[in-house]
Amino acid sequence: MADLTRVSISLEENLLEAFDKLITAKGYATRSEAIRDLIRDLLIRQEARSKHGEQVAVVTMVYDHHARELAAKLIDKQHHHHDLVVSSLHVHLGERHCLEVSVLRGPGHKVIHLGEELLATKGVLHGDITFTSGEGALNKFK
């Protein structure tokens, strides 16, 4: 671990109590480690918004597989951007609905564009894009 610097923060008592309950439930050994993870998460999310450098994103989509040609449209969009799609997982949630998870990796602006394009496809009922960064950015925030 890099050199450590001690900092002090002031929090309302009820906020600190709620935070302590949360980090205990999640298994953190110390407040410091939980706060370091929160800061890393914020920095990585901010970097993803910058659209610069390599980005990694997980796109989750739920759709009705009976929707006319929807599955084919999603596959076509991913094939058109084959250089960005690392992997896809298709899960049958029930008789009608499917969950598709795609991992995208590449230049930030292209990853964001494809993720948003997939979610905006008519027939996608619900979805989200979760960003992280490539190894280079993660190394910066250790």
User: Does pLDDT of 115 surpass 80?
Assistant: yes
Domains of the chain: 13-49 (1.10.1220), 51-140 (3.30.70.1150)
Closest CA to 57 of 98, 107, 12, 18: 107
User: What's the whole-model pTM score?
Assistant: 0.73
Judge whether 60 and 127 are in contact, CB under 8 Å. yes
3-class state of residue 113 by DSSP? helix
Judge whether 111 and 84 are in contact, CB under 8 Å. yes
Share of the chain above pLDDT 90, in %: 68
Q: For the segment 47-104, what is each residue's pLDDT rounded down to a tens digit?
A: 766 666 788 999 999 999 888 899 999 999 999 999 999 999 999 999 999 999 999 9
